[in-house]
């Protein structure tokens, strides 16, 4: 199904998008910076995913991977300060609105991937439903998200980006808090209700935070800012899945599940419980980051 949808999207793009070539001299590509950033991020994510599983956290392998990742990140910063057209200019990491919106995007990625990875497993394995029901339970989040996102434009134009995000933080925190109270005796409808409420909150946070970042810079800088925001979300997703997986595996081990064994409904519920708690913690930190976003970033840019 995903391959079919991607093929349709590619066909529509090729058929309808006609890109004009820019005039002027040929622009250089920051291959060195892109390579250092990509390899460094891949090493850190690999260490987080496999640490405690394929090798111990304090093993030579783990230390070497994280050290190499850190060295590459330092090298990336050095490269970005010297190349004429950096792939991620250092100024992106020095402006308050861009730092806070990137942090919001990072945590949005962590929360969404935490729910995507563990809500279906919980609903199917612990509540005893089918895979179809488990999928529809998670899909309930996509009901609330677009509804809220469609109205977020009116809100942030009238109230500002920070106020709109803080309004969204209320359903986000409510939904994630209620999700931590679910267990083997819950129903799929209760879990789906939590996902709908979380989606409402995300719709009022994700889009306005991205628009806030874009509106804080000049037109010529918006591509870099949008890319940095998307990269932060990807990193949050990858790191979040790694951390949530470590919490779930540790809980399964405490429940007495040996490697290769299938956990029962109660053991699966106990393993997902710390994950849902971690998702709530991420939602709390996300809400705090939203509170730091300037209400009118465009005004801040004009003053600077």
Residues 83 and 220 in one domain: no
Residues 127 and 142 in one domain: yes
Provide the pLDDT for residue 20.
72
Q: What is the pLDDT of residues 208-255, one digit of tens each?
A: 999 998 888 888 788 888 988 898 998 899 888 888 988 888 888 787
Q: What is the pLDDT of residues 278-289, one digit of tens each?
A: 999 999 999 999
**What CATH number is associated with residue 112?**
1.20.1250.20
3-state secondary structure of 186: coil
Percent of the chain whose pLDDT exceeds 90: 37
14 located within any domain: no
Provide the pLDDT for residue 260.
62
Q: What is the pLDDT of residues 113-129, one digit of tens each?
A: 999 999 999 999 888 88
Helices 206-215 and 161-179, interaxial angle, to 10°? 150
Provide the β-strand partners of residue 55.
51
Residues 78 and 225 in one domain: no
Provide the pLDDT for residue 71.
96
The mean of the pLDDT values for the chain is 87
Number of alpha helices (DSSP H) and beta strands (DSSP E) in the chain: 12, 0
13 located within any domain: no
Residues 277 and 142 in one domain: yes
Residues 98 and 67 in one domain: no
Q: How far apart (Å, rounded) are the C-alpha atoms in residues 273 and 143?
A: 24
The token pair at 1 is 């199904």
24 located within any domain: no
Residues 189 and 293 in one domain: yes
Give the residue-averaged pLDDT of 147-172. 91
Which pTM was predicted?
Answer: 0.83
Q: How far is CA 202 from CA 14, 101, 209, 278, in A?
A: 31, 14, 10, 17
Which domain, by its residues, includes 48?
A: 30-88
């Amino acid at each position: 199904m995903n391959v079919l949808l991607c093929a349709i999207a590619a066909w529509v793009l090729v058929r309808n998008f006609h890109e004009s070539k820019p005039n002027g001299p040929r622009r250089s590509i920051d291959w060195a910076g892109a390579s250092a950033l990509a390899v460094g991020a891949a090493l850190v994510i690999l260490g987080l995913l496999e640490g405690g599983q394929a090798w111990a956290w304090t093993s030579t392998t783990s230390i070497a991977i994280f050290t190499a990742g850190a060295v590459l990140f330092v090298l990336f910063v050095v490269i970005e300060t010297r190349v004429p057209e950096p792939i991620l200019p250092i100024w992106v990491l020095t402006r308050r609105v861009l730092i806070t919106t990137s942090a919001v995007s990072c945590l949005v990625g962590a929360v969404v991937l935490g729910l995507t990875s563990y809500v279906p497993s919980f609903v199917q394995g612990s509540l005893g439903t089918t895979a179809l029901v488990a999928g529809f339970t998670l899909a309930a989040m996509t009901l609330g998200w677009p509804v809220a996102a469609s109205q977020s434009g009116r809100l942030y134009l009238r109230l500002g980006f920070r106020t709109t995000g803080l309004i969204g933080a209320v359903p986000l925190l409510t939904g994630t808090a209620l999700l931590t109270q679910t267990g083997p005796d819950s129903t799929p409808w209760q879990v789906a209700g939590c996902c709908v409420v979380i989606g409402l909150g995300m719709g009022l946070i994700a889009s306005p935070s991205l628009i806030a970042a874009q509106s804080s810079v000049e037109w010529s800088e918006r591509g870099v800012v949008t890319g940095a925001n998307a990269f932060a979300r990807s990193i949050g997703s990858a790191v979040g899945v790694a951390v949530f997986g470590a919490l779930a595996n540790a809980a399964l081990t405490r429940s007495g599940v040996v490697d290769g064994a299938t956990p029962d409904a109660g053991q699966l519920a106990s393993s997902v419980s710390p994950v849902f708690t971690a998702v709530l913690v991420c939602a709390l930190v996300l809400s705090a980051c939203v509170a730091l976003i300037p209400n009118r970033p465009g005004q801040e840019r004009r003053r600077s």
